[in-house]
Amino acid sequence: MRRNVRLGIPLGLALFTLASGAAAERPSETSARLMAQANAAVDEGRLADARDLWMAVWKVERSQVAACNLGALSYRLGEAPAAVRWLSLCKELMRAPRTARERELYESRLADLARARQLVGELRVVAPAGAAVTIDGEPVELEGGAPVPVLPGRHEVRASSNGRTAVAEVEVARGRTREVTLAFAAPSAEASAAGGAGAAGGVGAAGGVGAAGGPDAAREPGGPRPLPSPPRPGPRPDVIVGGVGLSATLAALGGVMMMAVEKKEAAGRAATRTAGPSGCFRLSWPMCRDSASAYDDMRAFRTVGIAAFAAGGAVLGATLTYALVPRGRAELEVSAGGLAVTGVF
């Protein structure tokens, strides 16, 4: 997959030291030194340099912490396919959590993987044994038939071996897996194609493309400090419709309550007038009790109406914010049980 190589001075010094002066240095010592430099690069905001340093750690010892940090940094650099690949490996290498801290990290990595999967599609490539496979010109390794994460869009898949080539183009949607089967043309077909006949020669997408399951991706907080996440997918229409509908319902409830307030207030005044010029001097009079009850109902209806208007306005504001305002991690959930807004706007 593509990888932006942006090596800074710390990485250059680290690799120089590793190549020249550390012949007798044990792998654990080399890894510890590179890890310290990678964490320092994260602290300074040099995420590309930090990822390159973690790649150097991975080449020294293929550890879970290196895979997890490579996935986390790739995700924050906006390279979702690489993030999916590394975080999937991170998930495979992680041991079962034994402490509360390990469980928290484990759940965080799984959540990051799920978010990363929302940003990519996958290609499951079936190619002749021993063939070199590229996607959009970039070499890829087919590991045990596992799908290859790619950005949504159109991609060219090519298999080559001993001068023979098979090519297929496929459209991949976000969150979907497409299968491509590449097969080399028979020698007779290749000879006729070389004579100018045309189409099949190098293109052998024999099994075509099929749709299947879902994607695989993730991210992992690998540095000592929290880092910004890339943009999330756009707002969901069903959430927006639900928020507007709930807001309208609350506003209608508030209007009904205010109409009831007016009626109860009029009933209270009418009952007071029937008590005579002195009004409700004696509260024990029946008309005075009716007046007091009407005013109590009026106050209750007014409270409910104001609360309904306020809740409806809050729901509408949250819905508009969800739909229109750029955000990081934000979620608006509307259900029969109420409204929940979580995240950072």
Give the pLDDT confidence of 15-30 residue by residue, as tens digits.
Answer: 333 333 433 345 578 8
Selected residue with higher pLDDT from 269 and 247: 247
pLDDT band at 156 (very low <50, low <70, confident <90, very high): very high
Selected residue with higher pLDDT from 223 and 57: 57
Pick 29-118's CATH classification: 3.40.190.150, 1.25.40.10, 1.10.1240.10, 3.10.450.50: 1.25.40.10
Give 160-218 pLDDT, tens digit per residue. 988 889 999 999 988 888 888 888 887 665 555 555 544 444 444 434 443 334 434 33
* pLDDT value for 259: 92
Report the mean per-residue pLDDT for the chain: 74
Q: What share of the chain has pLDDT > 90, as a percent?
A: 8
CB 220 within 8 A of CB 72: yes
As a whole number of angstroms, the distance between CA 157 and CA 336 comes to 47
* pLDDT value for 4: 42
pLDDT band at 284 (very low <50, low <70, confident <90, very high): low
| Burial class of residue 223 (count of CB atoms within 10 Å of its CB; 0-12, 13-18, 19+) | buried
Pairing assessment for the beta strands 164-172 and 138-140 based on DSSP bridges: unpaired
As a whole number of angstroms, the distance between CA 249 and CA 256 comes to 11
* pLDDT value for 236: 77
* pLDDT value for 20: 37
- Cβ-based neighbour number of residue 299 at 10 Å: 12
User: What pTM value is reported for the model?
Assistant: 0.45
Give 223-237 pLDDT, tens digit per residue. 444 444 455 556 778
* pLDDT value for 117: 83
Residue 123 has pLDDT above 50, yes or no: yes
Enter the CATH code of domain 121-181. Answer: 2.60.40.1120
Q: At what angle do helices 80-93 and 100-117 cross, to 10 degrees?
A: 150
Residue 303 has pLDDT above 90, yes or no: yes
Give 79-103 pLDDT, tens digit per residue. 888 888 888 888 888 878 888 888 8
> Mapping DSSP to helix (H, G, I), strand (E, B) and coil, where does residue 138 land?
strand
Residue 146 has pLDDT above 70, yes or no: yes
Residue type, 53: L
Residue 296 has pLDDT above 50, yes or no: yes
pLDDT band at 343 (very low <50, low <70, confident <90, very high): low
